[in-house]
């Protein structure tokens, strides 16, 4: 695995997918930090959880993040407001691969209302197994201006 830690969070609409990921991480022996939320019954604001994960990923070398809400869009918008964060709304293994190879993405955002957990797990595996291709570095340097 290219990364040494995983930060994960969701809002109430993404809680079930987040919980499935946590079970998956535990089965595989991956270290993770769960930033919430703790249930799907209490409505919460997704920016609060996206900000916690982006702060973690920004301050921990070789960390990645996973953010889950109903569409994945809100989480990705919030995450990409942070310098050094390259969050991708992921809906296929090819997007996961390209986001790592070309964009050195460090946060995966999933829409729990539009993606089943089995495909999300495949996307995650592709993401962590795909190295960044340094020939794209010059493009990345232009992002955080």
Q: Which positions are annotated as active-site residues?
A: 102
Q: What does 53-103 look like in DSSP terms, one character per residue?
A: HHHHHHHSTTEEEEEEESSSHHHHHHHTTSTT--EEE--SHHHHHHHHHHH
| Residue 71: other Cβ atoms inside 10 A | 18
Torsion angle, CA of 98/99/103/106, rounded to 10 degrees?
-150
Q: Using the structure block, give the residue that is written with the tokens 């993405």.
A: 105
Count the residues in the chain. 145
Give the SS3 label for residue 49. helix
């Amino acid at each position: 695995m290219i990364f040494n830690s995983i930060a994960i969070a969701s809002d109430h609409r993404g809680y079930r997918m987040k919980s499935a990921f946590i079970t998956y991480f535990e089965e595989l022996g991956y270290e993770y930090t769960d930033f919430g939320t703790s249930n799907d019954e209490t409505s919460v604001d997704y920016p609060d959880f996206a900000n916690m994960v982006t702060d973690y990923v920004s301050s921990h070398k070789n960390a990645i993040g996973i953010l889950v809400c109903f569409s994945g869009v809100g989480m990705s918008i919030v995450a990409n407001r942070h310098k050094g964060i390259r969050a991708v709304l992921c809906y296929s293994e090819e997007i996961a691969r390209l986001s790592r190879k070309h964009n050195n993405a460090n946060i995966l955002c999933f829409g729990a209302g539009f993606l089943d957990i089995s495909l999300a797990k495949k996307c995650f595996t592709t993401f962590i197994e795909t190295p960044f291709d340094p020939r794209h570095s010059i493009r990345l340097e232009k992002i955080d201006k």
